[in-house]
Structure 1
Amino acid sequence: MTKDDKNLQQVLDKIAGMDEPARRVMQRMHEVIVAAAPELKPRIWYGMPGYALSASSPVLVFFRHDERMSLGVSEKAAFTPAGGEDGLLMPAAWYFEELDDVTEKRVAEIVRAAIG
């Protein structure tokens, strides 16, 4: 078993240990992320699933489940200012309670933008 395989199993185990309905939503979030960027390697990052270009490179995107579920982009991701009303702000975190088609599409866009 490779390091990538072990890391993936740790991520899947972390998700499997979550209570419903978070488990179902987080499993789908994992699937959306790996489908959007199959080159990303899952691993546990600060106790939650994170995704990087390799087992030893910085995590670019991650998701959490504490009191709420969230998707985040780490400081190592490719950032560009939002522009418009947000000016130079760079979006880096989004809360969600459920995933629908529109949200999944946006997550995939965020993930692809994070890897540059």
Structure 2
Amino acid sequence: MAETSTGLSATERAAVKQRAKELRDQEKAGKSREAGTAAVLEAIAKLGDDDRSLAEGLHRVVGEVAPQLVPKTYYGFPGYANDEGKVVLFLKPSSKFKERYATFTFEDRSTLDDGDIWAVAFAAHRWSPAVEKKVRELVKAATA
């Protein structure tokens, strides 16, 4: 008889614990841009080469296109929040859940709306000029 899982996997439990720690740390730091930037840069530094390249590119693009967003981690991922402290977008690295590609994910606070249906997550393997161009367009649209 096969066992069925009714709970979270070990990876999912670790992500939940990470998020709880982030929330405690963010509560202590308030809306400090410096604390958020330090946390995001620390998260980026821990990533493998391709994921780190994507995260560094995203961090640079957000700083240039949407400097009003505040860096903060989101489940251990590099993320960027609005002035209310709500995450607008984040990078989910491929290595976190051993997936084939990383995703740039936009939360419901973003303004990517386009008619009755639109994409909110975009996959990438590595940073390139084409990826940078698309991410710039998305960040600009998401924060318009």
TM-score by length of 1: 0.83
Pairing of 1:1-116 with structure 2 (within 5 A): 3-54=32-83, 56-65=84-93, 66=96, 67=99, 68-81=101-114, 88-116=116-144
RMSD of aligned residue pairs (Cα, Å): 1.9
Separation of aligned partners in 2, 1:49 and 1:25:
10
Q: Which portions of structure 1, spanning 4 or more consecutive aligned residues, are displaced by more than 2 angstroms?
A: none
Separation of aligned partners in 2, 1:91 and 1:26:
20
Kindly indicate which of the two structures has a greater share of residues assigned to strand: 1
Q: Deviations over 1:61-116 (max 9, x none)?
A: 111113221101101111322x5xxxx21110001011222221111111111112
Q: Deviations over 1:44-72 (max 9, x none)?
A: 11221111223x43111111113221101
1:24: how far off?
2.6
Percentage identity across paired residues of the two chains: 26
Counterpart secondary structure, 1:21: helix
Separation of aligned partners in 1, 2:76 and 2:104:
14
Aligned residues: 110
1:41: how far off?
0.9
Separation of aligned partners in 1, 2:32 and 2:68:
15
Separation of aligned partners in 2, 1:80 and 1:103:
20
Separation of aligned partners in 2, 1:18 and 1:48:
10
TM-score by length of 2: 0.68
Unpaired segments ≥5 residues, structure 1:
none
Kindly indicate which of the two structures has a greater share of residues assigned to helix: 2
Counterpart secondary structure, 1:79: coil
CA contact under 8 A between 2:106 and 2:142: conserved in structure 1? yes
Unpaired segments ≥5 residues, structure 2:
1-28
